[in-house]
Chain A
Amino acid sequence: MNFLIYLINGIGLGSVYAIIALGYTMVYGIAKMLNFAHGDVIMIGCYTVFLTMTRYGMNPYISVALSVVVCTLLGITIEKIAYKPLRRATSLAVLITAIGVSYFLQNAALLLFGANTKSFSNVVNVPGITLADGALKISGTTIVTVVVCIVIMLILTWFIKNTKAGQAMLAVSEDKDAAQLMGVNVNGTISLTFAIGSGLAAIAGVLFCSAYPTLTPYTGSMPGIKAFTAAVFGGIGSIPGAFIGGILLGIIEILGRAYISSQLSDAIVFAVLIVVLLVKPTGILGKKIHEKV
């Protein structure tokens, strides 16, 4: 019975990692860059929801929608200013700029909102499910997060397969230069990717903070790195991979803590990650890299 409880908790935690990892992996798949600022965009999204709801008493749905708009605009702006000029430079240079952006967002939030912890109110008011005479509880937040994850995953997959913009993304991710030659607007496509990724970050942020309701300017950095781990775990660039990677990461973290050692839970998670990557060097659902000679 305890095992089932741990498993459900693991899925709860994992679903949050998964939804953050979706945005991460999408940007990576198309723009081929690790957007270390993704976690901090999430944080900004959370603050938007928090302020509009608690300070101005807005309806939760409106404030979530507003936060999606804010994050999308933020994502586009960041991309324009900090990443676009480096499009032809090495991917490491963009990575470093992303770190700069991450510091910037954290410190801007610190100045704007103060260092004090804010308690986020749960936006999700779906009742949980109780099984086995109350011994097993699945919280409403977990259910919503998993459902939202799957919905987003399906929409993204559909979008990429069936729309012109999606096909353009696919083309850009395969070969930027060839895509350009075929008349695809590469810059526009990458901007669109950032816009979608950042919009997803807002939704991820709301669900993250609903599940774990504390908010500080540094709220985004830890989930950011965990989502990166999850995305790599599942095979970076693969959308279903991010989902699977996130859920697995959550389960491993909880089970490792429950059955091996709570002090060493970080080490356990990362050790499992290393073993998985050694067996499958491109993650669980990662594409095999074919190298041209």
Chain B
Amino acid sequence: MAKLNLKSIKKSSKDAFITYALVILVYIVMQILLKGGHVSSLIQGLLVPMCVYSLVAIGLNLCVGYLGELSLGHAGFMCVGAFTSAFVSKALRDSIQSNLLLFVIALVTGVIMASVFGFLIAVPVLRLKGDYLAIVTLAFGEIIKNIVNVLYVARDDNGYHFAFSDTKKMSFDDSNGIWLINGAKGINRIPNLSNFTIGIVLILIALIIVYNLVNSRSGRAIMAIRDNHIAADSVGINITKYKLMAFTISAAIAGAGGVLYAHNLSTVTATPTNFGYNMSIMILVFVVLGGMGSLRGSVIAAVLLTLLPEVLRGLKDYRMLIYSIVLIVMMLFNWAPKSIEMRKRLAEKFVKKNQTKEEA
């Protein structure tokens, strides 16, 4: 009966429901394991980061997989989301008591700011194509990181003080006030508001938004642009509008990832490892490995690849070496035409066997 119902649903929504179910299932299983005390500290500590990277991967997949534009700047949007929200939550900590309310305010401002940046960057950038677009998004990411590193904001009894690259002009005395953003030192002592449940809720919201978008009229327009933008143009699709829409939403989701990231650690600084092009590339790895245009794949790849280097800790000095080898092998397995063919053959065999069994 259930099977029949499942078949009558559209394929695309079935796909979405499987993903939701999977995320919720993982959440429930993890909660049970956590309650039972079966989860090591390492894995407990990784739950939120896995959510962070899954979120950003979902965002980037919208851009790369559905819109077909390569972005190497999503860490920049994460950075904007992280810094805006951390700034807000640190500044409002004293006036708002409720953790959840504080987080929601921080989240909303972070996401809005990230999408504003996404929009502003998208306007000029989306004229470009392919690798040129990639390098320009990379450039924007690096500019954001560079600027955040020379931004100073402090607060004392006289109110807020701002400075850009030069603190000498700031009439701020650090004895009776606090630094909110302190240049390269970033933001410290951010209230710790992220947790696994919030992470899962954000992932589900992101999934719902993206699945609904891609299965809507707008989503079909976005994919039409990806497949052939000239044809899309000729049937009257407003290319600029849909590109902007997809890119902005993509940036907003990445920003949400940044918000979650910032409130999981007590400190946030813009370094090459967390908000530089290295991170953008890492997220691209999640998306490509998981399969472009497959949100479920992105989430699974993000989780696996976040987990992998940590699980390999036992290998000591060889950890990162083995990690890189595994990465290459996984890519070859997933993408090499020969391996795809081989898998197909195996799968066919498997299916045939099942069918014959069923018939029998």
- Do A and B touch, yes or no (CB under 8 Å, in the complex)? yes
**Which residues from chain A sit less than 8 Å from chain B, CB to CB?**
28, 34, 36, 81-82, 85-90, 92-93, 95-97, 99-101, 103-104, 107-108, 110-111, 225, 228-229, 232, 236, 261, 263-264, 266-267, 270-271, 273-274, 277-278, 281-283, 289, 291, 293
6 contacts between A and B (CB under 8 A): A100-B331, A229-B135, A232-B132, A278-B124, A281-B128, A293-B230
A267 vs B124: C-alpha distance when bound (angstroms): 17
Q: Give the distance to chain A from B26, nearest Cβ to Cβ, in Å.
A: 25
Which B residues lie within 8 Å of A229 (CB)?
A: 135, 138-139
Chain A facing B: main interface SS = helix
Which B residues lie within 8 Å of A282 (CB)?
A: 132
Interface pair B292/A92, CB less than 8 Å apart: yes
Take A93-B335, A274-B124, A281-B128 as given contacts and tell me if A103 and B327 are in contact as well, using a CB distance cutoff of 8 Å.
yes
Please tell me which one of the listed residues A81, A93, A228 contacts residue B135 in the complex, with CB atoms under 8 A apart.
Answer: A228
Take A267-B146, A291-B230 as given contacts and tell me if A85 and B339 are in contact as well, using a CB distance cutoff of 8 Å.
yes
Knowing that A86-B335, A103-B323 touch, tell me 8 more A-B residue pairs with CB under 8 angstroms: A96-B331, A99-B285, A104-B325, A229-B139, A236-B131, A263-B165, A273-B135, A293-B230
Q: Give the distance to chain A from B132, nearest Cβ to Cβ, in Å.
A: 6
Which B residues lie within 8 Å of A232 (CB)?
A: 131-132, 135
Interface pair A108/B143, CB less than 8 Å apart: no
Q: Give the distance to chain A from B76, nearest Cβ to Cβ, in Å.
A: 11
Interface pair B139/A264, CB less than 8 Å apart: no
Smallest CB gap from A81: residue in B: B328
A232 vs B78: C-alpha distance when bound (angstroms): 25
Smallest CB gap from A270: residue in B: B139
A89 vs B317: C-alpha distance when bound (angstroms): 33
Interface pair A270/B140, CB less than 8 Å apart: yes
A33 vs B164: C-alpha distance when bound (angstroms): 39
**Which residues from chain B sit less than 8 Å from chain A, CB to CB?**
64, 70, 124-125, 127-129, 131-132, 134-136, 138-140, 142-143, 145-147, 149-150, 165, 230-231, 277, 281, 284-285, 288-289, 292, 317-318, 320-321, 323-325, 327-328, 331-332, 334-339
Take A99-B281, A263-B150, A266-B143 as given contacts and tell me if A107 and B320 are in contact as well, using a CB distance cutoff of 8 Å.
yes
Take A263-B165, A274-B140, A278-B127 as given contacts and tell me if A88 and B337 are in contact as well, using a CB distance cutoff of 8 Å.
yes
Interface pair A264/B150, CB less than 8 Å apart: yes
Which B residues lie within 8 Å of A36 (CB)?
A: 281
A263 vs B163: C-alpha distance when bound (angstroms): 13
Interface pair A274/B139, CB less than 8 Å apart: yes
A267 vs B135: C-alpha distance when bound (angstroms): 14
Please tell me which one of the listed residues B132, B230, B285, B323 contacts residue A96 in the complex, with CB atoms under 8 A apart.
Answer: B285
